[in-house]
Amino acid sequence: MVAYNWPLYLAGTAVAVGGALAGRRLRGAARTASWTAGAAGAWWTAASLAASHAVYDRSPLHTWTWLAPALAGAGRPPDPGRHLVVSSGLDEASAVIGALYPRSEQSIADLYDALPVVEPSLRRARRRVAPRPGSVACAADALPFPDASMDTVVAPFALHELRAAADQDAALREVARVLRPGGALVLVEHCRDAANIAAFGPGAQHFMPRSRWLRAARGAGLRRASEQRVGGFVTVFVLVGPDR
């Protein structure tokens, strides 16, 4: 996390130190404003580091051992079956899921080259972690897989890189197209909610509200079958298609 977002942490540290130093020289309202800015910079730098550590280092998020219970809790078989892993450029899921379910056929969709806007942090991640062999480069609204060909689609931290609501809606409709009847989308995202805003501050604007994902799911004909938090800050939605 720090390796990909280090300029933000550097900026937060600079604001914290600069605010504290400037506040010592200023008076009145200017001093209050400077110290307030410094305190905010210090808080969000420390809080985001602590939250990232809790989620990415200490929680079971990247072990994917929670996937089977999440699917079962949504009334699905605990094995993802033939599944598609959707990545926006940093794929840390497919290898682990493949090792957990070696008998399940896996495909990987890599959206990176087709993203309308690529954030600097994602560019840094891409330089450090290459796509896995067999990944298929494609657009989110044009997945190169037949209709009703997947039992499960897993999208960890991928679809929020589509910043426009229309693009998110189109992506979920495309996921619904490739899902078999009753198939499930496992959508893993930080949501723009009180916990994430408190921890990540202005950075939480990069996340989508929970209501945005549920609205897009309904528009694609997917219903929320289960929802859970992992690591306190990440929401896992299991969205199931109709048994058509």
Kindly report the three-state secondary structure assignment for every residue of 131-157. Answer: CCCCCEECCCCCCCCCCCCEEEEEEEC
- Shared domain for 19 and 107, answered yes or no, is no
- In this structure, which amino acid lies at residue 72? A
- Shared domain for 26 and 101, answered yes or no, is no
Alpha-carbon torsion 168, 48, 71, 65, what sign?
A: positive
- Shared domain for 90 and 204, answered yes or no, is yes
Q: How far apart are CA 117 and CA 34, in angstroms?
A: 34
Q: How far apart are CA 124 and CA 70, in angstroms?
A: 31
- Shared domain for 120 and 231, answered yes or no, is yes
- Shared domain for 207 and 235, answered yes or no, is yes
Query: Nearest to residue 200, comparing CAs of 160, 238, 168?
Result: 160
- Shared domain for 51 and 96, answered yes or no, is no
Q: Per the confidence metrics, is the pTM higher than 0.85? A: yes
Q: How far apart are CA 51 and CA 43, in angstroms?
A: 12
- Shared domain for 47 and 113, answered yes or no, is no
DSSP letter string over 159-216?
GGG--SHHHHHHHHHHHHHHEEEEEEEEEEEEBSSHHHHHHHGGGGGGSBPHHHHHHH
Is there a contact between 228 and 70 (Cβ–Cβ < 8 Å)? yes
Residues facing residue 184 across a β-bridge: 152, 240
**How far is Cα of residue 95 from the mean position of the Cα atoms in its chain?**
17
What tens-digit pLDDT sequence spans the chain (244 residues)?
Answer: 555 554 565 565 765 566 566 666 777 777 777 757 666 667 667 878 788 888 988 999 999 999 999 999 999 999 999 999 999 999 999 999 999 999 999 999 999 999 988 888 888 888 888 999 999 999 999 999 999 999 999 999 999 999 999 999 999 999 999 999 999 999 999 999 999 999 998 889 999 999 999 999 999 999 999 999 999 999 999 999 998 6
The number of folded domains in the chain is 2
Write out the residue range of the structural domain in which residue 214 sits: 61-240
Q: 101: helix, coil or strand?
A: coil
